[in-house]
Chains A and B, each alone.
Chain A
Amino acid sequence: MATTQLSHLQALESEAIHIMREVAAEFEKPVLLFSGGKDSAVMLRIAEKAFWPARIPFPVMHVDTGHNFPEAIEFRDKRVAETGVNLVVASVQESIDKGRVVEETGPRASRNRLQTVTLLDAITEHGFDAVFGGGRRDEEKARAKERVYSFRDEFGQWDPKNQRPELWNLYNGRHRKGEHIRVFPLSNWTELDVWQYVADDEVELPSIYYAHRREVFRRDGMLLAVSPFVTVMEGEEPEELMVRFRTVGDASCTGAVESTATDVQTVIAEIAASRLTERGETRADDRISEAGMEDRKREGYF
């Protein structure tokens, strides 16, 4: 007899498809955040499956800090062309030019925090009422608390102490004009689940997720890539190493890890053996304080 039991990855995929279809059915203007990172690549892949053989019935949006890895942009454009979705680019540079935000200064300046304003402005401008994000609860302790449908008020804020109860798979997306819902279809995935899915489903990722030679330097215990967006300070010595990225964010605050893993299977082996979290190892933005993520999320961050 054929099996009647889904594997855990199939069950996670089915859950994500169900969530995406609920949103497509109940919201007027959803959008999927697509940075070219691995979580958003998996999300886009699942969106393709959820509506096949039709096209994905909503656009994707890239919040562009201007501090990009060229490989990620190349990958973004390739996937947009393949799936035929509309791409909306929300530019942090434009927010700066318009005076909506003020650029940080100094060698440690990053545009990470500025993205929130750009994101919220774009949501308002386009009238998006549901915004798919690739956030996973295993990433960080404030994210571990978030609902699949995460209500945002008219200021885009998250109120962690007053979340809507969320039972079974009955999601409540009701909201007023100007409010919106962030939707996290990958809530229950771990980093390893994402990688196993990438392997099983042959999901394409930007090349920087695999080991390659790159000029990097050490800062705060992280390896940062030498790029036009960071100033190498005195005492920091750039060297060429074999590295890969575990996340792809703003190039000025996303760290690399030393690695020899040049394909999916070896990456999985390295991750399974890793003793550090993805964000702890590679995201300077999360090191600000114990409540760094919670504070940013309250303001409307991803």
Chain B
Amino acid sequence: MEMLRFATAGSVDDGKSTLIGRLLLETKQIFEDQLEAVERTSRDKGFDYTNLALLTDGLRAEREQGITIDVAYRYFATPRRKFIIADTPGHTQYTRNMVTGASTADLALVLVDARKGVLEQSKRHAVIASLLQVKHLVLCVNKMDLVDYDEARFDEICDEFTDFAAKLDIDDLTFIPMSALHGDNVVQHSPNTPWYEGPTLLHHLEHVYIGSDRNLIDARFPVQYVVRPMSHDHHDYRGYAGQVASGMFRPGEEVLVLPSGFTTTIEGIDEFGGSVEQAYPPMSVNIRLADNLDVSRGDMFARPNNSPIVTQDVDAMVCWFVDRPLQAGQIFGIKHTTRTARARVQELNYRLDVNTLHRDDAQQSLAMNDVGRISLRTTVPLFVDEYRRNRVTGSFILVDEGTFETVGAGMILAASSG
């Protein structure tokens, strides 16, 4: 069975949590005790109907304020797929949590309230999803019950969003009219929208093709850990443990070891208890090399004729997460694949207005939840690819060296070698 990870996005109150509650309920993932608890709370609070959002808003503060503060992860499975849902917050102040949820997603659901149309926050979330290279986007036009399931209204919203999305990097865009509250077009086709001939949301989630989203071309293996048993049975064993980032690795093939630049062949690829014929993403394996080279955590295996850029200078889009503004000259810890180093912000090129996509190059700093383009200089070379091409070797996080907080997330645009 395949796994699909998706994130929800959209403005506050557009119905994200309700939609997830609906999906879980109709795929029978809600247990009786959970539903009873939610029904009881809804009654206690004097609601007319069961508030399905209570199923995902798990923190006390969230229930008290009726909002989502942090990502909630939910799980469900149908006979076709296992789904991991990241229900993310809509409030701008919690953008960093939305980014957390979207970073690992294959698909994003962006909700809009059919009465309100495409608001700034929905646009903002679509921009962030495209920045993070979430390849599939579904615009859920929700609360269709409140606009009498009007086809013209649906078309209007689709047109408006299509215009906006043309400026973004989105491979696959789907529109679905629905009512999360009443269940129209979520799991069952709705009799209220006879004019809609597309798939229901669940059908789309089950069938959307994600097989080609992985990069199976560029062989990249960040060395995570060196396995040296020092035991009688495996006296000379030396395995380089890691998770395949992209591409394929097979015994007998040549590999380029970075940063040393040596070339050797793969002697064997091991998993617990034995060897495998090939390793592909996201397999965790041990790779054994034919030659005894000096290889340690943070190094990378690639191919002699297809290698990442080895560089100390990186241009990237960053999302900024903390109050303290990001400015040129600041130094941070950086974690890129399994490599950690320090990085100085050489330049803030521009701040991206995620509502208008305008590039503001007069800005001297990035504030919390801002997105902008920066140039970094790192203390040691990194082995990078463009994020568009490789989500693993193209991403990094910045860590404040005083507070140890994760202060930013970066997506590499281009790198100059040397």
Contacts and interface: CB of A to CB of B under 8 A. Distances in A.
A275 B31 contact: yes
B3 A8 contact: yes
Contact of B72 (A145, A188, A294): A145
A54 B272 contact: no
A164 to B, nearest CB: 5
A233 interface: no
Interface string B273-309: 1000110101110100000000001000000000000
A290 B39 CA distance: 13
A4 B219 CA distance: 14
A231 interface: no
User: Which of B81, B224, B231 has its CB near the most chain A CB atoms (within 10 A)?
Assistant: B224
Contacts of B71: 145
B216 to A, nearest CB: 6
Given A161-B69, A188-B73, A15 B225 contact: no
Given A165-B406, A170-B397, A172-B399, A51 B58 contact: no
Query: Which of B335, B397, B406 has its CB near the most chain A CB atoms (within 10 A)?
Result: B406
B351 to A, nearest CB: 19
Contacts of B327: none
B37 interface: yes
Contacts of A108: none
A276 B32 contact: yes
B70 interface: yes
Given A168-B104, A174-B404, A2 B278 contact: yes
Contacts of A190: 75, 77
B74 interface: yes
Interface in A36-85: 48-55
Interface in B156-189: none
A281 interface: yes
A257 to B, nearest CB: 13
Nearest to A23: B225
Interface stretch (A86-94, A136-144, A204-212, A234-242): A136-144
A168 B392 contact: yes
Contacts of B396: 170
A214 B45 CA distance: 42
A6 B282 contact: yes
A140 to B, nearest CB: 8
B75 A168 contact: no
B61 interface: yes
A176 interface: yes
Interface in A146-171: 160-161, 163-170
Contacts, number: 181
Nearest to B223: A25
A18 B222 CA distance: 11
Given A4-B216, A6-B282, A161-B69, A166 B100 contact: yes
A230 interface: no
B201 interface: no
B349 interface: no
A9 B81 CA distance: 11
Nearest to A164: B406
A142 B3 contact: no
B75 A18 contact: no
Nearest to B32: A275
Contacts of B333: 174
Interface in A114-148: 137-138, 140-145
A137 B399 CA distance: 26
B70 A280 contact: no
B224 A274 contact: no
A53 B70 contact: no
A247 interface: no
Interface string B71-93: 11111010001101000000000
A11 to B, nearest CB: 5
Contact of A25 (B2, B69, B96, B297): B297
B395 A52 contact: no
B164 to A, nearest CB: 25
Contacts of A140: 58
A169 B393 CA distance: 11
A142 B60 CA distance: 9
Given A168-B395, A174-B404, A290-B37, A137 B75 contact: yes
B248 interface: yes
B371 interface: no
A250 B270 CA distance: 39
A277 B1 contact: no
B34 interface: yes
B31 A54 contact: no
A49 B286 CA distance: 11
B324 interface: no
A100 interface: no
Report which residue of A10, A137, A169, A193 has the largest number of chain B beta carbons within 10 angstroms of its beta carbon: A169
Contacts of B104: 167-169
Interface string B96-111: 1101100110000000
14 contacts: A5-B2, A6-B283, A14-B283, A17-B284, A50-B284, A53-B231, A138-B75, A142-B59, A144-B56, A160-B59, A165-B97, A167-B397, A167-B406, A168-B392
Given A168-B103, A294-B59, 7 more contacts: A49-B272, A52-B270, A54-B231, A137-B73, A160-B61, A167-B409, A275-B31
Please give me the 10 A-B residue pairs with the lowest Cβ-Cβ distance, nearest first: A141-B58, A280-B33, A174-B404, A49-B272, A54-B229, A17-B284, A167-B103, A8-B3, A8-B82, A14-B284
Interface of B: 1-3, 31-34, 37, 41, 55-61, 63, 69-75, 77, 81-82, 84, 96-97, 99-100, 103-104, 211, 216, 224-225, 227-231, 233-234, 237, 239, 241-243, 248, 270-273, 277-278, 280, 282-284, 286, 297, 321, 333, 335-336, 338, 391-392, 395-397, 399, 404-406, 409
